[in-house]
Amino acid sequence: MTSTRPGRDRRAVHHPAPEGADTVGAPRHVVVVGGGIAGLASAAVLAERGVTVTLLEASPRLGGRVAAWPLADGRTMSRGFHAFFRQYYNLRGLLRRVDPGLTGLVPIADYPLQRPGGVRDSFTNIPRTPPWSVLGFVLASPAFTLRNLTKVNVPAAMELVTMRFPQTYSDHDGESAAAFLDRLNFPLAARDLALEVFARSFFADPREFAAGELVAMFHAYFTGSAEGLLFDVPRDDYDTVWWAPLGRYLAQRGVSIRTGVRVKKLRPGSAWEVATGEGVVTADAVVVATDPRTARDLIAGLELPAGPAGPAGPADPAGPARPANPELARWRSAVSATRSAPPFVVLRLWFSGRVDADRPAFLGTSGYGPLDNVSVLERFEDGAAAWSQAHGGSVVELHAYAAGADVEPGTAAAQAVADELLHQLHLVFPETAGFTELHRELLVADDCTLIDPSPWRERPGVVTPVPGLVLAGDWVRADYPVALMERAATTGILAANELLAGWGVRGEGLWTVPMQGVFARRQRAATPARGA
């Protein structure tokens, strides 16, 4: 990635890469565990600098939690809709490796948010540059009136435009998104539409979700970035557009990609041993770029050294006990304390009829039971459009982001959620009640990240106290205003940079939205940061 600005925001910040040689001077081998966005980003940066990379992915395909796969009759399924926001500079840099012009992305014309009773907000016709974006939204939204604006907690609202990173994350330690929303005292409709919907887009109940993450997200997507809240989506399924081409790109650079291979154990030593069901792979270093639950299991199984020096084998049982290493113990405890989000549900339906032409391609919802959003896939996916043309129907996808803990694949609870999603769809798009279901696919999973209100600085970051081991993924702390897919891409690059710096090789620079709010300097001069 060069220093050329990656988007329209003139305040976007370039974070230069560590300097060094263009390629490694001696043979180096890195095992990347996980073939999602974080693992793919790490593998790309490392391979481009001459590192031998073995990428191990437990599932049959690349993409991780943004994977897609074929079904019968030319249909496809995925783990659900993902918005490729224009603030996702580092993710887009990864995608540009196989699509320099990003022609595989198509813009969504609007991102309406709807409550029962017809209350709806839109981001289409409001300014994109802060602070005018905030003012424009308030003036255009039916949720705000002069009367209820007088009840807003102004100091709390100012936290949305005065943040500084990474301090903002720590300023909200111990506070949930729900508690922040209560403190903010926005009108109920605005709370549900403009705030709680976004919290749930992190697959989280706002009572369990960190306020610091919520505030940071508002800065990144709305109050601090001139890219705006509209976004792009792939013009076809994820595998066709991105992951299969990226797999070929990596293979051309010598990366050995092994899918369907689950890593069972990591053994540090003079060389790393990565044990799988197929044998052992040795390497100079390891990038753990998995979902949080898998990472917890792998770190829990590490035979960690007892002393402050490099990795060593376990102590001789007949000899004296080795002293504990507090730093390693604290780090392993921090990894084990990370949490996974509640189960989420994706229901994809192939209908006999087409939804009305004036329906948006993507609709966020609040107040419709478990339904969080509706996507009309033929509006942007080539494969869905071809199916729609051939059968005269629509392909509609429904999401429930934070379902109950008892919702598991194949259970009555999962079926009940699916039935309720369909019922709510009939309320949102009434014409669908008269359609026949030709096909349905129901997916339930619980491997997403929950960023809870625990202290930010105690969360595990990219760098670990174990030499040769780095972490990457959207669950890993990064001190930038990034989240979701962009945090995965960013930490993947940071993980590669950390290993390369140790070998005297230049890394890859990063781009982020501004590192402070539009009124940060003015506010800092007037009052100390909250929690200082």
Contact 121, 112 (CB under 8 A): yes
- 352-379: average pLDDT: 93
Which pLDDT score is estimated for 257?
Answer: 98
CA dist., res. 521 & res. 517, Å (int): 8
Residues 6+ apart with CB under 8 A from 527: none
Contact 51, 29 (CB under 8 A): yes
For the chain, how long is the longest CA-to-CA vector? 77
Residues 6+ apart with CB under 8 A from 166: 456, 479, 480
Pick the range with the lowest mean pLDDT from 87-101, 114-128, 259-273. Answer: 114-128
pLDDT band at 199 (very low <50, low <70, confident <90, very high): low
Contact 157, 131 (CB under 8 A): no
Contact 274, 469 (CB under 8 A): no
Reported as half-sphere exposure (CB side, CA atoms, 13 A), residue 493 has a value of 25
Q: What is the dihedral of CA 323, 328, 329, 331, to 10 degrees?
A: 170
Which pLDDT score is estimated for 151?
Answer: 77
**C-alpha separations of 408 from 48, 66, 332 in Å:** 41, 20, 29
Which pLDDT score is estimated for 526?
Answer: 39
Q: Which residues pair with 313 in a beta bridge?
A: none
Residue type, 96: R
- 10-29: average pLDDT: 95
DSSP 453-489: SS-GGGS-BSB-SSTTEEE-STTSB-SSS--HHHHHH
Looking at per-residue confidence, does 99 or 134 come out higher? 99
Q: What is the DSSP letter of 267?
A: E
* Structure token pair of residue 504: 């005297």
Mean pLDDT of the chain: 88
CA dist., res. 474 & res. 486, Å (int): 8
Is residue 208 left, alpha or beta, with left meaning phi > 0 and alpha meaning psi from -120 to 50? alpha
- 310-317: average pLDDT: 42
**386-444 tens-digit pLDDT:** 999 999 999 999 999 888 888 999 999 999 999 999 999 999 999 999 999 999 999 99
CA dist., res. 18 & res. 15, Å (int): 10
- 361-367: average pLDDT: 88
CA dist., res. 510 & res. 219, Å (int): 18
Contact 259, 59 (CB under 8 A): yes
Residues 6+ apart with CB under 8 A from 357: none
pLDDT band at 178 (very low <50, low <70, confident <90, very high): confident
DSSP 431-458: GGGGPPEEEEEEEEE---EE--SS-GGG
CA dist., res. 98 & res. 524, Å (int): 43
Residue 139 has pLDDT above 90, yes or no: no
Closest residue by Cα to residue 489 from 456, 512, 465: 512
Name the 3-class secondary structure at 276. Answer: strand
Which pLDDT score is estimated for 192?
Answer: 63
**3 state SS for 4-61:** CCCCCCCCCEEECCCCCECCCCCCCEEEEECCCHHHHHHHHHHHCCCCEEEEEECCCC
First to last CA, the chain: 36
Which pLDDT score is estimated for 325?
Answer: 79
- 230-235: average pLDDT: 92
Closest residue by Cα to residue 55 from 227, 274, 307, 363: 274
- 472-476: average pLDDT: 97
Residue 295 has pLDDT above 90, yes or no: yes
Which domains, from first to last, does the chain contain? 17-64+240-338+452-508 (3.50.50.60), 117-229 (no CATH), 342-445 (3.90.660.10)
Pick the range with the lowest mean pLDDT from 26-35, 67-76, 359-368. Answer: 359-368
Contact 111, 365 (CB under 8 A): no
Residue 319 has pLDDT above 50, yes or no: no
CA dist., res. 198 & res. 111, Å (int): 12
* Structure token pair of residue 236: 């076809």
Sign of the alpha-carbon dihedral angle for 530, 222, 37, 450: positive
Residue 174 has pLDDT above 50, yes or no: yes
pLDDT band at 4 (very low <50, low <70, confident <90, very high): confident
Share of the chain above pLDDT 90, in %: 66
Contact 305, 338 (CB under 8 A): no
CA dist., res. 515 & res. 523, Å (int): 15
